[in-house]
Amino acid sequence: MSDALIVARGLEKRFCPVRALRGLDLEVRAGATLADIGPNGAGKSTLLRLISGLARPSGGTLRVGRDGGDRRSRRGRVGLIAHASFLYPALTARENLILAGRLHGIANPALRANQLLEEQELTAVAERRTGGFSRGMSQRLSIARGLVHDPEIILFDEPFSNLDDAGVCQVLEQMITLHQQGHTLIVATHDLEKVIFHANRLIIINSGQVVADGPVPEILPKVGHYGVRLPCAIQQGKAVTSWLKH
């Protein structure tokens, strides 16, 4: 058995008549920070939904965790943080986290909620209903909810969508911290320039398949060929190797 934490072989997902994933192969080792990029409709978000257990594959095999397990057990290993917050707007920030903790069966959801509110600097708004939160506050609370069960694998699906510069910095700082703590991260994004310095591996998904996979300096020159917008520094003709020295 492979020692990879996530293994996909011939992975298929169909939304009749659309084939969102077409025989996708992928391995992700523990502790990796993987940037998952590709054009609209390539299958990036679909892959994350399968890994998280929110959707079932139509074909192929998918193992999440070294010992595998069913979709139910997978949800205990994986945290999903998306551009949509999935918060309950009528509940307060604290209530949203307590509910998430109960759903995951953690021992003391109220204590865990307090810890996460402090970490995300949301204690001052803990008793406010989330329906009135700004985009940045909602995203920070969404991150807290995704971490409530301390998952080994954390998936970010377009996490920078509609965030201002301060919000983007907060998300990137959270990613750095999680990587340093040993979590495995997969970031599906169009905003390549926001994650390029933090990812240690880059994959390009196009038409439901992984068409390029490797270290960032090796894959970066190929992204334009697959319909992904290159960061301005490369468009202006700077060498990839010098641009990566940050």
Q: Give every CB contact of residue 124 below 8 A, 6+ residues apart in sequence.
A: none
For residue 201, report the phi and psi dihedrals to the nearest 5 degrees.
Answer: -155, 145
Q: Across the chain, what does the average pLDDT equal?
A: 87
Helix (H) or strand (E) holding 98: helix 93-103
d(CA 244, CA 246): 6
* pLDDT tens digits, one per residue of 137-152: 999 999 999 999 999 9
- Residue-wise pLDDT tens digits, 78-126: 999 988 888 999 999 999 999 999 999 999 999 999 999 999 999 999 9
If you search the block for the tokens 């502790």, which residue do you land on? 31
Question: Is it the case that residue 4 has pLDDT exceeding 50?
Answer: yes
